[in-house]
Structure 1
């Protein structure tokens, strides 16, 4: 609505961009088109456009509900400000509510007008209104730009006639076929006739309000003949008003006179459309049509016959050479003629649509005359014995585009029959096999129907698995409704709408289908699956599904265990919903990959592993798609997510499926504890790579391997991720996004090669489960975890590398760290973070128990015991320190306290040219071994032997084989590494955990 207003007001392109962005966000949130809210920024722009202007809004409300236009940005309408609005409900004359009901919905209106029966007929406003609406309809569709609006009026009148005259038992069924009638009657002509008729069927729907129904007696004239009543448009009224109208008639039962077999003797010769629609009666009292009943109806183009009998070998319409639409409903052969004369069946040449509904007219496809059917576009056969038609169709009807074989329940081998028929049907666009209960498999030759777009399998109870190998890649829509076939259909190449489907199932059926695979159907974007209780696996890989909705597209599939969406580039949302399917607690495996292509390795999840109830593997380019993963995961919240295995990768470059922790256990022991630094990185990132290339296998070159084994709930964020910053917001309005999964669910986190400036999520999320965090090559990130990021009860390993702008890992500020925070931290690795000032505020409740392998910089926060400044902080089990390539590092601990490490065994230092202090080690223990450049060792400052801080308390230092050259102050290398990192601390590797002293 706001988009239409913005376009009408010619608002700036930036406003349209806001609407586009909001629509995109709603897509990822799974919001229905009709449920999308107003955008405040757009409302402000609309309000600004109206400011200081007098205006009138003409609002055509297509519904019967009241809509508050002020929420869209319109100022309050009042006559004192010169703001006026002209409001109409629905289209004119339509709507089942009475006018008093409508008036109650707009009680604040100043004037309410409505039509009466006198207005419609006496003032003759019906057709002028239809003419104006015809112009409006034509303007909406490019295919109608050349059409005469009067033709659209004729279609409206045609539909109104059917609405007013069809008996109740045929009203919905035949009215749904109106688009075919308009075209076959000749109202809509030309190359785009089918497209135009299809579009008009969505626009022309009659649902008259009570006052308009009173005009039936004026618009329609009736004449009775024995037990029948013939109705047609009132020619006198139309002629007096100078209005053209299609010549058409409907013959129905006369309720006042009992029906007798021979009550129809003549049919007007000028009719172009004729409908015989008596009440449903027994076969013993069918109307009998004489052989030459329609011989004079040379203009007849549309013929619908219901509940009658005639000679199938010499039908009464055999002389109607202009016939385009022929529908036979519950018709029987009276067998008055046995012999077929092919010379008289030339009317079949022009036939476009043929409906055979519970009618066994097998003669039409006999060898003598079937070859005459050369222009048939649509064939619809309904009934338990309709399979008998299929053998005769082999090598016939090569140009048919829509084929329905519905409710064929008696043929045990229906698939084989249909196989032969599909051999040469290269133009077939729609195939409906609904209700074919004995079809055990899809026809093998279905893939040869290379133009097939719509496949309907509603009520195919005996169908086994559906696999994509037998489906044409042209398929765009599929329907498999366990409730059964649609009650009606339209002449459009699309799935039945919800209102044409059964609303319930009377008898629960045993539908065997356990697997549906539509993998590789690249155009498939429309899907309807319902009431398949044994469906276990649904594979939509490589399809064009945009929003997979488990409330409108896939319903009542209570056994669904596995869902595959690999190569679904257009996927924006999975809408799980709270009704219809309720599949989240039963789903076991969900695989998503939105990158192009479907030839991806499937995840190596062990089906025999019962440790997890739900396993999710997702590779998503747009981080917003992670919102759709929250609902199925959240359904296991009572189990604290221990029942969930999760692997999410937001990247376009991810190449394969990371194995879970269990799959990697055997390999962990084979990994060397140390790895060459050059091999560890895909490209050089340090300023001393030239040094490393020269020193060879010097001891200082050994560094620990980064964490590579993804845990059970793993998230990776890498280059190629889109819309990442908004999804890292832990305060996001719905609290169901990537931030939620990272903070509340993930056990391992790997972030690398991204350009985001955003920190990791804070807000309301506790990092309850995170065990290791690895971040590298993020050139714009300044703070890793914000002040409000709390929890970290299980965190064991932190690996940070190549973060040139990072100033801190955890920011300083008031936080709610509990007693358990960081108590399991064992390893912290920091490398090539030149601007880093500190890592972790020194005093968290668990600080005395912090573990070793701690790569850390300790600074004083606002909360710490005052004795720290006197006694220092003891690291009683700290054994090893590695410091590498930190040219601005001056000391290991903040100047505000002293670091005491009595168990220290090894110190390895390289490239820390500004280092001035080492930890105090005490006099009683063994002397620590130390590797350090001679220049750095000579420049160290000491507190003395009494303080446990003296060179004699260390072993003789081992100096590396490479020495830096003396450089003048302010040299290029110093300028490169000159961020303000004064009084900072960085511990790159600490082995063996330490506890409180």
Structure 2
């Protein structure tokens, strides 16, 4: 890499110098890095180069087909950069959709914005867009780290290809690092250009750079499209002046108010002035190289000193000679021990619009004394900031400033307490928009004599331990104030009552900040009167026991107007040596609230964010050090994508006891009735989620809580939009499955209708053959329901098993005790791929019209499964698929009941990979037209002659016209405890189970033709008709069918198939 001080003296000179270098050295130079003038102006030069190249006829020698300008000076992430590239290239909407989809997935995974990387598929599309083209990339790299564009889809920038790149690390108005620091970070660059010799003021670099940057800022914000760019330049100059001249002890505090200065000074005007000023405050942030500071200060700033007083102002001569407008403003610093007179600040002329006065250094003992009438000649003064000054509060020195809009008093004191107020001289209060009273007890301003003159005040900020003394005077005053901050009020024992009175008539209040009001025990009741309230700040209000907004009208308008503090601005811990009482925070109903910041509340037990617009709840950035948090409510949070728990300083996971989530619209839903007296569970979760991906956020607390014992966790998770049930107490749920499973005498069960054709069936014995067991309905301690309205279900069920503890599949396969899947259109099977279903006790599936295989081959375990209940699965070909299992020990050892109904395409139910079903009691299968076998041999897993069913007592088989035998021909079924067999419509059946000799003979109900066609192995094999009771034969098929019943049978495919088989058999026998 060649590194060179280029000595380009102007912005245009730098643009042309770069282009000429590319043209002249194009054989061996493809990538140029430009560092600017000691770090300044590089960003503007790159913009100018991009504009020049996009104009017609520029640099024909380079033969460029495309110019791509990638401005990532405000860095977000590599993903955001790839999006910017795709937008710049005008790629198809489908490409942007890929990025949107990846961002959505990362939202549900809780991935930080800054950690999101580029996408290979998008990189392929970018690569395709550059194919067979010569192009130039202009790249603003705001990441601070070198970025290889190849991974984004750009081809290599080698000297053998027609690809060029110009780039920089430098950002707008910033460049304090030396060029050598940048040079060490630059890679894969042919030419490193920097400039250290030219004066950016004398050589006319500063203002062309500002104009170029201002154009880019205006293009970024729709609200600035119609504004005069010179006004934005004035704001930049205003900010530069404060950066150069403010005393160090006031630099951050006063500079932070720049947006209010621009408004009140008159630079920004109109309906959108506040919005524009707020946006500009994020863009205009000065940070220059030390050598540039002295250089710029020496020309742009003129100073005058007299009597220990130094006054600084913009050099009007320079601005006038160059035809540049500027805001008339001045900053005076002083260490004078005597009162300052107009002579001491004579540079504050009548046209001065902004003035700042402060001591050089802070001293609690020494204040700047201001004489009466000090600003009498400053008739145009609009912004006035005074710090550590002493003057007469009854007759302040600015009393004659009739155009004053911003007044800030920091640590000011009254030096004449006996003077009387003359209301006739206080007309300047008419014009005030913003009033800051920071550790200043200027109570006279709200006295009854003059408070009525404050009619245009928009913003009032009061800071200090005695600021509560202002509040009584504000009652029935300032009805139009929009922003009120009463901060660090620590000595008022009844703060809530005072604030209540103040809020009586504040219908236009948008922001209320009561931070540090330690003695406020409750929220003001009249907060509901502030109908326009959008932002409420309660930082440090440690006297509040409960922060609950139920019934507060303005909560629906609250919004997030400030960004969370970045990680580098958060101290590692907060050193607080006081008792913080806050135990409950409820922001329920704050529909516009998208972010919040809560920290150091060791007694916080309950946090309710129901109805808010929070997208990602992050316990690593948003809620910190709340070690006692037990209950978290997120009901009606439609936008919720994830909850980020890991590496949390909050220590939430081990201590959380109750988590309630419902992402459906609306918050007027009763809370689930968890049993608070039940101490068996350390964590209880109730979740109704429309998008199945949100279940990823439930895995971390479940896994962290159990520590190898899932019995410590209770959850009820519903992926549906239609869930309307309630979770029963876990204590009541315990062992209820046993009550259902014990209902094995089918003659005692209530009939379960199988359709509109039951009138064509004859009855056998005392119970109708169409009776079907009711499904399990009692949710167990760890229950999952998947139902209609669930989104992105297939991706979660198919998710790779190598990503444990992160998705719905994990919760289903490794943790759940009861599973109910119904009314979903997914084709996906239940999770396989290594999930070991070791805790599932009952499984209920119904009305899933597209599902073909319920459990795939690699779904294993099922050692605790007791009940299988399946119904209305029209496409299902098997319940468990055939294949080799890695683990077979213990599978189905607790299975008691198997119930299947209306699965017309089912070929078989269960491939047998075990030696017995030791507890199976009930087998009930009806209306499965294509079922050939219920149990089939699973790939040679079973090598013995038969499979034992030692407790099987009841078999009901109905409307299974293709069923030949219950078990496949590869092995026989041994059921010595069999008591009842009911068979109807199984015309192809050839074998019954072997029952053995010497026991009670099982009762059997079966058609005579079917009984006659059965095949037997003999008495010695325990398989002979004599080992059964005399069969009870049905004669309904010999009766003449009721007139018109054939039409009804045609509408029932399974029954119609039975009829056809009967007619064929009858014709052959004839």
TM-score (normalizing by structure 1)? 0.89
Find the aligned partners of 1:535 and 1:27 in 2 and give their Cα distance.
Answer: 27
Q: After superposition, what is the alpha-carbon deviation per residue over 1:832-891, rounded to whole angstroms, capped at 9, x for unaligned? A: 222222222223255677x999998211222xxxxxx88444434432211123232222
Determine if contact 1:313/1:338 at 8 Å carries over to the other structure: yes
Equivalent residue number for residue 571 of structure 1: 640
Higher deviation after alignment, 411-420 or 688-697: 688-697
The answer as to whether partners of 2:815 and 2:839 remain within 8 angstroms in 1 is yes
Q: 1:841 touches 1:858 (CA, 8 Å); kept in 2? A: yes
How far did 1:347 drift? 1.1
User: Is 1:111 the counterpart of 2:191 in the alignment?
Assistant: yes
Q: Structure 1, unaligned stretches of length 5 or more?
A: 468-479, 863-868
CA positional deviation for 1:249 = 0.4
What aligned pairs does 1:774-923 form with structure 2 within 5 A after superposition? Answer: 774-844=844-914, 857-862=934-939, 871-923=945-997
State whether residues 887 and 977 of structure 1, in contact with CA within 8 Å, keep that contact through their aligned partners in structure 2. no
Bigger Cα displacement from structure 2, 28-37 vs 967-976: 967-976
Cα-to-partner distance string for 1:309-344 (whole Å, 9 max, x where unaligned): 111111111111111100011111121771222222
Distance 1:407 1:362, change over 3 A: same
**Cα distance between partner residues in 1 of 2:1002 and 2:515:** 82
Residues 580 and 192 (structure 1 numbering): CA distance in 2 closer, same or farther, change over 3 Å? same
Q: 3-state SS of the aligned residue for 1:848? A: coil
Contact 2:757 2:1049 in 1 (8 A): no
Deviation at 1:685, TM superposition (A): 5.9
Q: Write the deviation string for residues 893-946 of structure 1: whole angstroms up to 9, x where unpaired.
A: 212233233332210122323323222334433322112234533443445556
Question: Where do 1:294-373 residues align within 5 Å?
Answer: 294-335=375-416, 338-373=419-454
* 1:197-208 mapped onto 2 (5 Å cutoff): 197-208=277-288
Give the conservation status (yes or no) of the 8 Å contact 1:880–1:905: yes
Deviates more, 1:75-84 or 1:921-930: 921-930
Residue 138 of structure 1 corresponds to 218
For residues 570-593 of structure 1, what are the alpha-carbon distances to aligned partners after superposition, in whole Å with 9 as ceiling and x for unaligned? 111101130321210111111111
Describe the SS at the equivalent of 2:868: strand
Structure 2 SS opposite 1:645: strand
Query: Contact 1:348–1:372 at 8 Å: present in 2 too?
Result: yes
The correspondence of residues 480-879 of structure 1 with structure 2, limited to 5 A, is: 504-664=573-733, 686=755, 688-691=757-760, 698-731=767-800, 736-844=806-914, 857-862=934-939, 871-879=945-953
SS in structure 2 at match of 1:112: strand
Q: 1:793 to 1:720 in 2, by over 3 A?
A: same
Secondary structure in structure 2 of the residue aligned to 1:923: coil
Shift of 1:42: 0.6
Aligned CA distance change for structure 1 residues 292 and 961 (closer, same or farther; 3 Å):
farther
Q: Distance in 1 between matches of 2:705 and 2:265?
A: 59
Instruction: Tell me if structure 1 keeps the 8 A contact 2:784–2:812.
Output: yes
Structure 1 residue 44: Cα displacement: 0.7
Residue aligning to 2:1003: 929
| Aligned mates of 2:427, 2:874 — CA distance in 1 | 84
Task: Please give the alpha-carbon distance, in whole angstroms, between the structure 2 residues aligned to 1:229 and 1:248.
Answer: 14
Tell me how far apart the structure 1 counterparts of residues 619 and 101 of structure 2 sit (CA, whole Å): 24
Deviation at 1:800, TM superposition (A): 1.6
Shift of 1:237: 2.3
Report the Cα offset of residue 5 of structure 1: 1.1
Query: Does structure 2 retain, via aligned residues, the 8 Å contact 1:565–1:593?
Result: yes
Query: For residues 599-637 of structure 1, what are the alpha-carbon distances to aligned partners after superposition, in whole Å with 9 as ceiling and x for unaligned?
Result: 222222222211111111111110000000011111134
Shift of 1:443: 0.8
* Shift in alpha-carbon separation, 1:103–1:667, aligned structure 2, 3 A: closer
Question: What is the CA–CA distance in structure 2 between the aligned matches of 1:982 and 1:820, rounded to whole Å?
Answer: 41
Distance 2:551 2:310 in 1: 40
Contact 1:916-1:940 within 8 A present in 2 as well: yes
C-alpha displacement at 1:952, in angstroms?
3.9
Contact 1:700 1:910 in 2 (8 A): yes
Q: Per the alignment, do residues 606 and 661 of structure 1 end up closer, same or farther by CA in structure 2, a change over 3 Å counting? A: closer
Change (3 A) 1:785 1:279: same
Distance in 2 between residues matched to 1:606 and 1:458, nearest whole Å: 34
| 1:977 shift after superposition | 11
The 1:987–1:580 alpha-carbon spacing in structure 2 relative to 1, beyond 3 Å, is farther
Contact 1:459 1:483 in 2 (8 A): no
Deviation at 1:109, TM superposition (A): 1.4
Q: CA RMSD in A?
A: 5.8
CA distance in structure 1 between the aligned counterparts of 2:1067 and 2:597, rounded to whole angstroms: 57
Superposed displacement of residue 404, structure 1? 0.4
Q: Over residues 645-670 of structure 1, what are the superposed CA-to-partner deviations in whole Å (9 max), with x where a residue is unaligned?
A: 11111111111223255214597798
Further displaced range: 164-173 or 83-92: 83-92
**Deviations 1:478-511 (CA, angstroms, capped at 9, x unpaired):** xx99999999999977777777777753332211
**Within 2, Cα distance between the matches of 1:199 and 1:579?**
32
Q: Distance in 2 between matches of 1:239 and 1:995?
A: 119
Partner deviation per Cα, 1:247-283 (whole Å, 9 max, x = no partner):
1100113699999999556632221100002134445
Distance in 2 of aligned mates of 1:79 and 1:511:
66
Q: Compared with structure 1, are the counterparts of its residues 644 and 672 closer, same or farther at alpha carbon in structure 2 (3 Å cutoff)?
A: closer
Q: Distance in 1 between matches of 2:1056 and 2:884?
A: 24
In 2, Cα distance between the equivalents of 1:797 and 1:995?
Answer: 42
Count residues with an aligned counterpart: 975
Query: 2: distance between equivalents of 1:517 and 1:229?
Result: 52
SS of equivalent residue, structure 1 residue 436? coil
**In structure 2, distance between residues paired with 1:894 and 1:122:** 97
Q: What is the rounded CA distance, in whole Å, between the counterparts of 1:983 and 1:675 in structure 2?
A: 30
With over 3 angstroms needed to count, the CA separation of the structure-2 counterparts of 1:823 and 1:674, relative to structure 1, is: closer
Gap change, CA 1:378 and 1:410, over 3 Å in 2 = same
C-alpha change, 1:667 and 1:33, in structure 2 (3 Å) is closer
Contact persistence 2:1006–2:1031 (CA under 8 A): yes
Task: Tell me which residue corresponds to 2:514.
Answer: 433
